[in-house]
Structure 1
Amino acid sequence: MFIFKRFQSGVTLIETVVFLVVVSIALVALIRVYTQAVVSSVDPVVQIRALEKAQAQMDEILARKFDENTPTGGVPACDSSTGVACAGISPDADYDDVGDYNGFVDASETNYTVSVSVVNAGSELGLVNTRARRITVTALMPGGNSVVLSAYKVNF
Structure 2
Amino acid sequence: MLTPTKKNQSGVSLIELIVFIVVVSIALLVLVGIYRQATINNADPIIRMRALESAQSLLDEIISLRYDEATPTGGVPACSTVGAIACNNLPDDNMNDVDDYHNFSDTPYPNYVRSVSVTTANNIKLITVSVTTPTSETFLLSAERANF
> Is the TM-score greater than 0.5?
yes
State how many pairs are aligned: 147
TM-score by length of 2: 0.83
- The alpha-carbon distance between structure 1 residues 8 and 77, as it changes in their structure 2 partners (threshold 3 A), is closer
Further displaced range: 136-145 or 5-14: 5-14
TM-score by length of 1: 0.79
Find the counterpart in structure 2 of residue 146 from structure 1. Answer: 138
CA-based RMSD of the aligned residues comes to 2.4
After superposition, give the CA deviation of every residue in 1:61-104 in whole Å (9 maximum; x if it has no partner).
0111111121222222221222112111x222221000000001
Contiguous gaps of at least 5 residues in structure 1: 122-128
Find the counterpart in structure 1 of residue 51 from structure 2. Answer: 50
Identity of aligned residues (%): 48
Further displaced range: 6-15 or 104-113: 6-15
- Bigger fraction of residues in helix: 1
After superposition, give the CA deviation of every residue in 1:116-138 in whole Å (9 maximum; x if it has no partner).
100012xxxxxxx2x21111111
| Amino acid in the other structure paired with 1:151 | A
Q: Distance in 2 between matches of 1:31 and 1:92?
A: 56
| Amino acid in the other structure paired with 1:152 | E
1:132-143 equivalences under 5 Å are 132-143=124-135
Contiguous gaps of at least 5 residues in structure 2: none
